[in-house]
């Protein structure tokens, strides 16, 4: 234990980081940033592809929704009502329903 380490221990301070530790931390930060940007780019590309596919099949989806919508309207209305109650009820309702 060096004199600096003993003094730091006595005063309750953390010893200064070495240059190698700082360099390692900076390299790790750069690698994580690169991985994050790569994942973000992949997700953005996937979102663009999904948007293009949905845009391409939108005429068929429009016809299907027009055919199904009248029968599903009451069910959707009830689900929206239940979701509003759960959201506005807060943690008390969530605990009673074992959601949160």
Instruction: Take residue 59 and report the two structure tokens written for it.
Output: 């005429």
Residue 5 sits in the same domain as residue 42: yes
On whether residue 62 sits in a domain, the answer given is no
**C-beta of residue 86 within 8 angstroms of C-beta of residue 93:** yes
Residue 42 sits in the same domain as residue 9: yes
Mean pLDDT by runs of 10 across the 100 residues of the chain is 74 70 90 96 96 95 89 91 84 75
> How many other CB atoms sit within 10 Å of the CB of residue 70?
8
Query: For the chain, what is the domain count?
Result: 2
Residue 12 sits in the same domain as residue 42: yes
On whether residue 21 sits in a domain, the answer given is yes
Question: Could you give the CA distance from residue 59 to residue 29 in angstroms, rounded to a whole number?
Answer: 46
On whether residue 39 sits in a domain, the answer given is yes
Residue 76 sits in the same domain as residue 51: no
Q: According to the model, what pLDDT value does residue 34 have?
A: 97
Q: According to the model, what pLDDT value does residue 17 have?
A: 67
pTM, two decimals, is 0.48
Compute CA distances 64 → 55, 61, 73, 75, whole Å. Answer: 15, 5, 14, 17
On whether residue 61 sits in a domain, the answer given is no
Please give the residue range of the domain that contains residue 90.
70-100
């Amino acid at each position: 234990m060096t004199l600096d380490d003993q003094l730091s221990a006595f005063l309750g301070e953390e010893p200064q980081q070495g240059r190698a530790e700082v360099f390692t931390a900076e390299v790790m930060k750069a690698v994580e940033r690169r991985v994050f940007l790569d994942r973000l780019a992949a997700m953005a590309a996937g979102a663009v592809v999904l948007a293009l596919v949905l845009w391409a099949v939108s005429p068929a989806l429009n016809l299907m929704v027009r055919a199904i919508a009248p029968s599903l309207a009451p069910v959707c209305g009830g689900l929206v009502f239940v979701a509003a109650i759960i959201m506005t009820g807060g943690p008390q309702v969530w605990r009673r329903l074992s959601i949160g």
